[in-house]
């Protein structure tokens, strides 16, 4: 890092890794959350932008199939320009910034301009992609050295920096980055300089993502395979005896949901655990949030209830959001959980129950099924007549619970603790994948995710949904989806996100 310049901001070069969001480092994630500006490349997984602040400026400077939006010099100038506004500027690059990532050129430009910079390494694509392809780059019996070579060169400088004779003579593993178009040339030169034509070869496309595909052959056969399969960038090519270990060491491509792309529509703040469950099964989880939870427009009804908590016999939570926003407002009003002394607590669903328990508050009743009707059934065994309940919930929700309790002789105050709104437009990668037919499942975890999702989607895209499996967390959400003309094919027996992930797996493996 250079000496700090008090008149400028700070540029952080971050290696995003080879594709899987989970391979981003903790330090990289931390800087993304603090960035004012994020300048990112084509091979960066757009799902990483969920770690960015809503206020962050996102600038795409990617290079796809030889076409660059900005030249390297223009990117250097952009970094300098943004840093001079005293901002935290993140330069997010695929793989590692200093392994064929031109990070060295960028820090040279920053150094000359007197801009403070830091570097956060990333998992290089040879390391990450080979591991996800189930091919160890070294093995005591097969390879003790690795050579990493760029498979592409600057226009007009064909092979100027590659000594093919020396590379062909190497006995370890050869790894060529971004060499899909140059594969015939690479093979030709290696064989020309006496590399055994029977040497095993693997070509991996979109490594570490659900779109990963691996083709294996030999130097003698791989070009024909590539032409037949029409292999396109981005690819990584591994040449050496270690390729033969793939049938034994493969793990990622054998996962139950490998190759499936599953869209998550729930609120970004609640999506992380669901994303992990799907990725652990090999799926690509594509976040396209259709709701965002925020405080209600008018907090006065909730505030009034908080001032009179001792008047209530029971407090009913129907969601984690209800717990979160209720306790947040409690703290804002300079109150704490002691106000709930003597109040009976009801919670619908294990996640809601756990959110209450995390506050060190005992939950008195959790219904057998995680819907309002089941809670009513549980409360029916109590004598609720004449008792008073508080229900802090979303500003718009079903009236089954309060209406039924009133019929049972109870009084209930329903107060908005939060509201759901449509978030800012998501990354366009979802619409692109939808248009290409590259989505297998769309998941809905509440009725509002259904309605907001369809409201945000232009009518012209609706026909594309017919060929996609629709998964709903429970019967209420299912009914909303079907009322909007969607054919629901996946609903778990237990109405939780964990059960939904398992139901998706069963749908594709049964």
Instruction: Tell me which residues are annotated as active site.
Output: 41, 63, 178
Cβ-proximal residues to 206 (8 Å cutoff; 6+ apart), any chain = 19, 212, 213, 234
446 vs 473: CA distance, rounded Å: 7
- Tell me the C-alpha distance between 476 and 397, whole Å: 11
**Gap between the Cα atoms of 327 and 306, Å rounded:** 10
- Cite the beta strand spans of 140-264 per DSSP E: 146-150, 173-177, 200-205, 213-218, 235-239, 261-264
Which of 35, 219, 60 is closest to 118 using CA atoms?
35
- 238 and 173 in contact (C-beta within 8 Å)? yes
Q: How many residues make up the chain in this entry? A: 510
- For 39, 56, 126, 274, 473, the CA distances from 21, given in Å and listed in that order, are 17, 19, 16, 14, 25
First to last CA, the chain: 54
Task: Catalogue the long-range contacts made by 171-174 (C-beta closer than 8 Å, 24 or more residues apart).
Answer: 171/143, 171/145, 172/138, 172/143, 172/144, 172/145, 172/146, 172/147, 172/240, 173/137, 173/138, 173/143, 173/145, 173/146, 173/147, 173/238, 173/239, 173/240, 173/242, 174/147, 174/149, 174/238, 174/239, 174/240
Q: Give percent helix, percent strand, percent coil of the chain, each to the nearest 5.
A: 40, 20, 40
DSSP-derived pairing of the beta strands 235-239 and 200-205 = antiparallel
**What 8-state DSSP symbol labels residue 4?**
P
Backbone angles phi, psi at 324, to 5 degrees: -60, -50
Spatial separation of the C-alpha atoms in residues 45 and 403, rounded to whole Å:
46
Q: E-assigned strands of 296-381?
A: 314-317, 344-347
CA distances in angstroms from 68 to 42, 63, 430, 483, listed in the order given: 10, 4, 22, 45
């Amino acid at each position: 890092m250079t000496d700090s310049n008090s008149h400028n901001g700070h540029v952080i070069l971050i290696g995003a890794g080879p594709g899987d969001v989970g391979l981003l480092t903790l330090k990289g994630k931390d800087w993304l959350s603090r960035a004012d500006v994020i300048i990112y490349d084509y091979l960066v997984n757009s799902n990483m932008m969920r770690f960015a602040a809503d206020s962050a400026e996102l600038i795409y400077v990617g290079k796809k199939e030889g076409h660059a939006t900005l030249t390297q010099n223009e990117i250097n100038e952009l970094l300098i320009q943004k840093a001079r506004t005293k901002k935290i500027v993140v330069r997010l690059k695929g793989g590692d910034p200093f392994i064929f990532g031109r990070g060295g050129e960028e820090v040279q430009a920053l150094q000359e301009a007197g801009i403070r910079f830091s570097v956060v390494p990333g998992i290089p694509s040879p390391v990450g992609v080979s591991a996800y392809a189930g091919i160890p780059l070294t093995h005591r019996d097969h390879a003790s050295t690795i050579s990493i070579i760029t498979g592409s060169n600057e226009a007009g400088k064909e092979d100027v920096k590659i000594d093919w004779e020396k590379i062909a003579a190497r006995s370890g593993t050869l790894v060529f980055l971004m060499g899909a178009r140059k594969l015939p040339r690479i093979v030709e030169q290696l064989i020309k300089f006496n590399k055994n034509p029977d040497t095993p070869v693997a070509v991996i496309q979109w490594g570490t993502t659900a779109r990963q595909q691996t083709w294996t052959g030999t130097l003698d056969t791989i070009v024909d395979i590539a032409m037949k399969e029409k292999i396109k960038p981005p690819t990584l090519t591994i040449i050496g005896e270690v390729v033969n270990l793939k049938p034994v060491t493969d793990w990622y491509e054998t996962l139950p949901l490998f190759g499936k792309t599953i869209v998550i529509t729930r609120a970004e703040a609640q999506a992380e655990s669901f994303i992990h469950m799907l990725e652990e099964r090999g799926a690509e989880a594509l976040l396209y949030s259709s709701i965002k939870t925020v405080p209600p427009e008018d907090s006065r009804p909730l505030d009034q209830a908080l001032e009179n908590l001792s008047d209530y016999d029971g407090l009913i939570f129907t969601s984690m959001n209800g717990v979160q926003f209720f306790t947040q407002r409690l703290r804002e009003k300079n109150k704490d959980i002691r106000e709930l002394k003597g109040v009976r607590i009801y919670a619908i669903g294990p996640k809601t129950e756990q959110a209450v328990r995390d506050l060190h508050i005992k939950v008195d009743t959790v219904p057998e099924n995680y819907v309002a009707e089941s809670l009513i059934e549980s409360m029916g065994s109590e004598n609720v007549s004449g008792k008073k309940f508080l229900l802090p919930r979303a500003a718009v929700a079903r009236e089954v619970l309060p209406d039924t309790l009133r019929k049972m002789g109870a009084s209930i105050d329903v107060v908005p603790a939060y509201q759901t709104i449509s978030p800012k437009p998501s990354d366009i990668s979802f619409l692109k994948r939808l248009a290409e037919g590259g989505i297998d499942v769309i998941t809905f975890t509440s009725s509002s995710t259904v309605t907001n999702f369809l409201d945000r989607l232009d009518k012209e895209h609706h026909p594309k949904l017919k060929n996609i499996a629709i998964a709903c967390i429970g019967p209420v959400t299912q009914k909303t989806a079907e009322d909007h003309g969607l054919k629901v094919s996946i609903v778990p027996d237990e109405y939780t996100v964990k059960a939904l992930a398992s139901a998706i797996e069963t749908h594709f493996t049964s």
